């Protein structure tokens, strides 16, 4: 083993020490009206497990925070094919801002997921299964 550490010449150390002292002083002399509250951090992602039955969502109601990243882990525990569609910001199905489960058809016994960002506006937003849009429904309440 050879040491790769090199000696730092003394004439370089002095300026570094001086700069450090200046930095400490600058920090100590901060104004009195600085922001003291910690920065607002984005809400942690919400994660839910949802079971698709014949023909229902279990559970079928969810509550998230505005703008929160949301991940559903979906399992088809039924016999029929199912999926899950979120109506999106406009809360209207079958248009461009919908979010559909990664597998558009989730067969019996299969798992899938749906990742979305909760709308910024509070409200109650709709979920449905494309194959059973009357029976298999649910809601996401954004607070």
Which residues would be at the binding site for Cu ion (CB under 5 A)?
A: 55, 82, 129, 131-132, 136
Sequence-separated (6 or more) residues with CB below 8 Å from residue 45: 68, 69, 70, 71
Shortest reach from residue 122's CB to Cu ion, in Å: 28
Closest to Cu ion by CB, 112 vs 136, is 136
Closest to Cu ion by CB, 68 vs 126, is 126
Sequence-separated (6 or more) residues with CB below 8 Å from residue 80: 54, 55, 108, 131, 132
Shortest reach from residue 129's CB to Cu ion, in Å: 3
Sequence-separated (6 or more) residues with CB below 8 Å from residue 94: none
Shortest reach from residue 132's CB to Cu ion, in Å: 4
Shortest reach from residue 99's CB to Cu ion, in Å: 16
Closest to Cu ion by CB, 55 vs 73, is 55
CA distances to 45, 57, 124 from 80, in Å: 30, 13, 27
| Residue 118 burial (10 A CB sphere; 0-12, 13-18, 19+) | buried
Closest to Cu ion by CB, 48 vs 131, is 131
């Amino acid at each position: 083993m050879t040491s790769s550490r090199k000696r730092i010449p003394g004439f370089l150390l002095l300026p570094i020490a001086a700069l450090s002292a200046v930095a400490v002083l600058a920090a100590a002399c901060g104004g009195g009206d600085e922001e003291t509250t910690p920065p607002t951090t984005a809400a942690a992602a919400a994660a839910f497990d949802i079971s698709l039955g014949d023909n229902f969502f279990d559970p079928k109601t969810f509550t998230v925070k505005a703008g929160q990243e949301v991940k559903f882990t979906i399992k088809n525990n039924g016999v029929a094919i199912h999926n899950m569609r979120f109506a999106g910001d406009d809360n209207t199905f079958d248009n461009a801002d919908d979010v559909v489960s990664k597998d558009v058809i989730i067969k019996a016994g299969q798992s899938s997921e749906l990742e979305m960002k909760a709308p910024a506006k509070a409200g109650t937003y709709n979920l449905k299964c494309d194959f059973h849009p009357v029976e298999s429904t649910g809601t996401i309440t954004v607070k």
